Amino acid sequence: MRFKRGKPPYLRKRDKAVYMRLDVLIALAPLVAFSCIYYGMRPLYVMLHGIISAMLFDGIGNLFLRRPPGWADGTAAVTGGIIAAVMSPAAPYWMPIAAAAFAIFAIKIPFGGAGRNIFNPAAGGLAFITLCFDGRMFTYPAPNTPIGDITQIVTGESLGSLLRSGAATSFKPADLLIGDFPGPIGTVAIAILLACAVYLLFRRSISVFTLLPFLAVCTGYAVLFPRVGTGWENSVMLELCSGYLLFAGIFIVTDPVTSPKFWLGRIFYGAAGGILVMLMRTAGRFEEGCCFAILILNTFAPAFDRLSWKAIYRTRTYWQRLKGVRK
């Protein structure tokens, strides 16, 4: 009887990489559903446009890379989903498609495709749209107005622009939690976002070491440099709930492929991300410059990983040598 060889270990965990991406899509679903309650069916169509076009472009791009289409990979669907979730509910349908095209063809494919990209494609797509179509990107309809024709919508003033112009006062926490204010599709329902974060953390699809320092640094910055005159609690609440900061912290900054893998590297990455995002908001040109901050941050991921691992490894080795456990 002959047998196969193969490589050890011969027992593997029954787990697939695609489950992480599926978890993200599952987490996006209630956000879109909630937005549909306020705005009608349009957010769902925007999301579908984003996801399907991203997957299509990814398939075409993988032909250039001579790799299999990769729809079973799930990364393109996640990119499309994240891009669409940051669009305004009144965004024209070509905007998520254009963003997905830029994300896939200029950020993902040239660097090697899924798993090899240095920059977050969703952040790249959002940066493209923010730079080129910032007017249309940042016009948000007032909540509870179903959207028919997008040229005739009642616009509302988003929290980000209020903070920027200094005219923000206080909001009731209940209003903020249920998302009763103008904003992008997937980022206003704060309570649901927090539930999604908890779900993703427990499924080990995102890392607590990246998320918590990010939120902590943003909170600290909001306390130290408030843009609101009515106390630090209001400042923290408004800064964390405005724009897509919380959404970016949960879905974009913690993207596994582009963030470091070592726990200490992740902590530094989250903290640096928090500082960059808040700086882009307060000193940047647009009301929400999260995507640019994330693109800058992505370049530091390998450096954080390597340096922090070196530090920990050397300390541990010296300590073990001191105790006599290692020769």
Partner 1 sequence: MTNSHQSMKPSGIFRDTGFTQNIVLIQLIGLCPIILSGISLKYGVVLTVCTMLVQVNISLLMSVLGGRIPDWLQPPVCAIVSAGLLLGAGYVIGQYISPELYAGLDIFVPLIAVSTLVTYRAGGFAAHNHPGAALADALGASLGFGVVICIVAALREIVTFGTLWDVPIGFEPIFARGALPFVGFILLAYMAAVLQKILMVSRMIREPRPDSRDGDSTNRDFFAEIEHIGDIENDEDIADPDKIPGSGDPARS
Partner 2 sequence: MALLTRKGLVLPSRIEPAVSQPVVILPADTLRVYLPLSYTGSRARCLLSTNEVVYPGKQIAESADDGQPVMRAHVFGVFAGLRDASHPLYGQLECAAIDCMPSPVSESPAAKNFDKLRPADVLEAAEAAGIIDELDGHYLYRKLEEYRENYCDLVIADGAENQGYASSAWAVMNESVEQIWMGVQLAALALRATAGQINVRLKRNRRRPLARRINNEKAIFQVRRRYPAVKLEKNPWGRRICRIGVQACLALYRAAVYGEMHGSCVVTVSGDAVKSPRNIRAPFGTTAEKLLEICGLKADPVRLLSGDVMTGRAAESDRMLILPGVTCLLALTEEAVPAHGVCCGCGRCVGVCHAGLLPFEIVRRVENMQYEQLASLRPDTCDGCGCCSHVCPAGRELSDQVSSARDTNSRIYSSWEEEDEI
Q: Which region among 48-56, 190-198, 227-235, 257-265 touches partner 2 (by CB under 8 A)?
A: 257-265
Cβ proximity to partner 2, 113 vs 243, nearer residue: 113
CA distance 139 to 95: 13
Sort 69 into a burial class: Cβ within 10 Å, 0-12 / 13-18 / 19+: middle
312 binds partner 2 (CB under 8 A): yes
Tell me the one-letter amino acid at 278: M
Question: Residue 66's binding partner, choosing from partner 1, partner 2, none, with beta-carbon cut-off 5 to 8 A by kind?
Answer: none
Task: For partner 2, give the closer residue by CB, 247 or 269.
Answer: 269
Q: Is 188 in the site for partner 2 (CB under 8 A)?
A: no
Are 294 and 277 a contacting pair, CB within 8 Å?
yes
Beta bridge partners of 155: 141
Nearest to 34 by CA among 186, 205, 241, 227: 186
**DSSP 3-state of 313:** helix
Q: Single out the residue of 37, 131, 194, 311 in contact with partner 1 (rule: CB under 8 A).
A: 131
For partner 1, the binding residue among 19, 37, 41, 110 (CB under 8 A) is: 110
| 265-294 positions binding partner 2, by CB under 8 A | 266
DSSP letter, residue 142: P
Show the binding pattern over residues 89-108: x = contacts partner 1 (CB under 8 A), - = does not.
Answer: -----------------x--
Report the candidate in 84, 83, 72 with the shortest Cα–Cα distance to residue 114.
72
**Mask 204-243, x = binds partner 2 (CB under 8 A)?**
x--x------------------------------------
132 binds partner 1 (CB under 8 A): yes
Report what 168 binds from partner 2, partner 1, none; CB cut-off 5-8 Å by kind.
none
74: which residues sit within 8 A by CB, 6+ positions away?
A: 17, 18, 20, 21, 22, 25
- Which amino acid does the sequence have at 220? G
- d(Cα 42, Cα 35) in Å, to the nearest integer? 9
Q: Which residues of the chain form contacts with partner 1 (CB under 8 A)?
A: 106, 110, 131-133
Q: Which residues of the chain form contacts with partner 2 (CB under 8 A)?
A: 1-17, 19-20, 113-116, 204, 207, 255-259, 261-263, 266, 305-306, 309-310, 312-313, 316, 323-327
